[in-house]
Structure 1
């Protein structure tokens, strides 16, 4: 019992109050994240669209997200984290209801585009705010705790959404919009602005050469590219996996239960991951994660029953659990302090490009080449991504160390962080 209390204190203790308000908003928002989980099923079974049309709609969600995450990163640096978060959540709630009421293909497509734009505009501001308030030594466990909240909500939402979909699909959109508004209220009431300089004129002036700095940062852009390929594999669980399970004769409720295993495994095991990977080479961890995810999705080619689909989900979830905390801490260390919002936005852009292209490419491959080719292709991409992580890892770590030293040298003496723990230095 004492060991468990010590572990709990080491995992959750010492984090700032603002982090916990953000964490609570994340959990509430994800508890109602019904729509994206079931959008492919809704479009094909309720609206009668083809797999290609469903892929197009989900892809437009990703296109809107690409615009949103880019704009959100810029606004987070220039306007502020807090107003960007508030605007994004309120706008997303309104667009969620509009999408639920849309009927024609053009209206559904437009609704998905605008919803993606508002929903994803919040991510760079949220990520920048997390880095602002959490000291570097605590970020690995803070990001792991936040990821744990995301997946606790996701696991519950997947099961509840499957039941709600059997009653009324519109209920999915209403509940999702409601949780977005609750999250906005938490931010409005309890979360202060965290960007240095507040709302002064000087603070709202864009750093000179910001775009050039990002576009010439080959180490960072290489990392973004690798995340793009990993995301294209990972996001097949939202677009093509439910369609494949439907073709196997499985119901939406079964898909909800199977995909809930993803969140359940993360809820049970994610909080132990920081201790497992602490002190290990991050490039090796990311490479292993890519291989495990590739194998998990590749095995989907042989699945035909609920238990086999569930097994594949458990395998690629292990890769996801290894990937997420290493990804989050590394992107924080590769982002210059004055450009955190923009760097978060560009990194988020890789997810949005994947969100736009993965369902479209997945649908085309599945229709014209076959289901097995789609999943075997995911396995190949996973292996190639792993090799690229091993090759590019040393350059990333050198850049992270250089930025850390530059930030320490430029900070006032009283604001300089304590020396990193041995585990952080070895990461």
Structure 2
């Protein structure tokens, strides 16, 4: 382990940081290829009946991604960041081919199991690597760029896949995008991306020398899991809010296209509505990540969850393209306030020596939200209807916003210290 010549900060590591932003855009594009097309494929080609069965692919994706997130954090500390990133892209190679040639729905579910592993390994690692590079001062900005690239690519690919599906059919054209992303992502990760674990060691050295010697610097995996899940009010609040945030995304992935199509909207119009949510989410994070470095984390997270609740309520009552467009923009804005800010809060609290593992635990719970959204959305939609499922998500988002406001403490060092010094 050598930290000689290494420096922390965005400017000092701009080339590698920019490369990782591009890699994460390719990671997000792997999800975007499915968003518009798979719910329609389930109905039109595989003739699935019932929303719960249709949402099995979201459930399997969420469970495999959540479990892999936890392993990605541990493996990144043990083996290094780059090997985990490359392994994630290797896992993705068969995914677009399985989606193109799937003879039955079981192949689609299996492809999404592999896609979840791909996302858990690659997205988690690019998050950890960017946090390693920038150090503590610009953590929110770094997460804003990371998540903006990923979800911006989700939006662009979802819209492009919808266009290709409308012009050339549901298969194979939309999934050729994914094949291209795999080739490019694997090539960049294997040949150009550099290891960043020594940057975390450098920050740990600086942090230990500048802070109270009593800070927890060596924790077991079980202790990290407990702190991130239950005992630390900020870490556990972030994990809870992340789960509900991705519950909303998982539900939208499976049910929004069907709701929008139920009033007769064409596939390309459905694709545009589906893309608006992650587009605003992605672009908005360029601002909200940086704002959390100035204003603090807690209030942005609270406001974002309450905004999501309002947007979901509007989606549940709307019946027109224009109303749904407004609601999905509002949903994207609320998510943009939350997403990079939660990751930045984890980075604020967790010590560099166990930060990758804490990120892994947080992302375990956050991405369990995909599975929770699939179950909640499918069961409620089957028992009542699509709109009832969306109302249930709105209620959970509202309750989560209140919980964060009551329980979470401010984590940004500068904002927290300023509050402590105010008489």
TM bin (shorter chain): 0.7 to 0.9
* Cα distance in 2, alignment partners of residues 74 and 130 from structure 1: 17
Partner in structure 2 of residue 135 of structure 1: 135
For the 8 Å contact 2:162–2:267, the answer to whether it is kept is yes
The farther-off stretch of 267-276 and 220-229 is 267-276
Partner in structure 2 of residue 214 of structure 1: 225
* CA separation of 1:58 and 1:273: change in aligned 2, threshold 3 A: closer
Structure 1 residue 268: Cα displacement: 5.5
Partner in structure 2 of residue 113 of structure 1: 113
Q: Please, which of 14, 18, 21 is the counterpart of residue 20 of structure 1?
A: 18
Partner in structure 1 of residue 145 of structure 2: 145
For the 8 Å contact 2:251–2:374, the answer to whether it is kept is yes
* CA separation of 1:47 and 1:384: change in aligned 2, threshold 3 A: same
Q: Report 1:147-186 matches (<5 A).
A: 147-166=147-166, 167-168=168-169, 169-186=171-188
1:111-144 Cα distance to aligned partner (Å, 9 max, x none): 3223212332222222211111112112222221
The farther-off stretch of 302-311 and 142-151 is 142-151
Match status 1:81 vs 2:81: yes
* Cα distance in 2, alignment partners of residues 267 and 383 from structure 1: 22
For the 8 Å contact 1:152–1:264, the answer to whether it is kept is yes
Structure 1 residue 330: Cα displacement: 0.5
Partner in structure 2 of residue 9 of structure 1: none
Helix, strand or coil at the partner of 1:279: helix
Partner in structure 1 of residue 37 of structure 2: 38
Over aligned residues, Cα RMSD in angstroms? 2.6
* CA separation of 1:160 and 1:25: change in aligned 2, threshold 3 A: same
Partner in structure 2 of residue 203 of structure 1: none
Structure 1 residue 58: Cα displacement: 1.7
Structure 1 residue 82: Cα displacement: 0.3
Match status 1:243 vs 2:267: no
Structure 1 residue 365: Cα displacement: 0.4
Structure 2 length-normalised TM: 0.83
Q: Report 1:374-413 matches (<5 A).
A: 374-394=389-409, 397=411
For the 8 Å contact 2:26–2:185, the answer to whether it is kept is yes
* Cα distance in 2, alignment partners of residues 275 and 305 from structure 1: 34
Q: Report 1:407-422 matches (<5 A).
A: 422=414
For the 8 Å contact 2:89–2:186, the answer to whether it is kept is yes
For the 8 Å contact 1:152–1:263, the answer to whether it is kept is yes
The farther-off stretch of 104-113 and 298-307 is 104-113
Helix, strand or coil at the partner of 1:244: helix
Helix, strand or coil at the partner of 1:336: coil
Match status 1:343 vs 2:358: yes
1:67-90 Cα distance to aligned partner (Å, 9 max, x none): 322222221111111010001012
Equivalent pairs, count: 386
Structure 1 residue 31: Cα displacement: 4.7
For the 8 Å contact 2:152–2:282, the answer to whether it is kept is yes
Q: Which runs of 5+ in 1 are unaligned?
A: 1-11, 199-206, 402-421
* CA separation of 1:385 and 1:311: change in aligned 2, threshold 3 A: same
* Cα distance in 1, alignment partners of residues 149 and 124 from structure 2: 18
Q: Please, which of 193, 196, 203 is the counterpart of residue 194 of structure 1?
A: 196
Q: Report 1:289-304 matches (<5 A).
A: 289-304=304-319
* Cα distance in 1, alignment partners of residues 180 and 378 from structure 2: 31
1:245-282 Cα distance to aligned partner (Å, 9 max, x none): 12222232111111222344356554333555553242
Structure 1 residue 160: Cα displacement: 0.9
Partner in structure 2 of residue 6 of structure 1: none
Structure 1 length-normalised TM: 0.82
* CA separation of 1:275 and 1:75: change in aligned 2, threshold 3 A: closer
Partner in structure 1 of residue 57 of structure 2: 57
Helix, strand or coil at the partner of 2:305: helix
The farther-off stretch of 29-38 and 336-345 is 29-38
For the 8 Å contact 2:90–2:186, the answer to whether it is kept is yes
Q: Please, which of 307, 312, 326 is the counterpart of residue 311 of structure 1?
A: 326
Helix, strand or coil at the partner of 2:198: coil
* CA separation of 1:320 and 1:19: change in aligned 2, threshold 3 A: same
The farther-off stretch of 152-161 and 379-388 is 152-161
1:133-170 Cα distance to aligned partner (Å, 9 max, x none): 11211222222122232243233212210012231422
For the 8 Å contact 1:279–1:424, the answer to whether it is kept is no
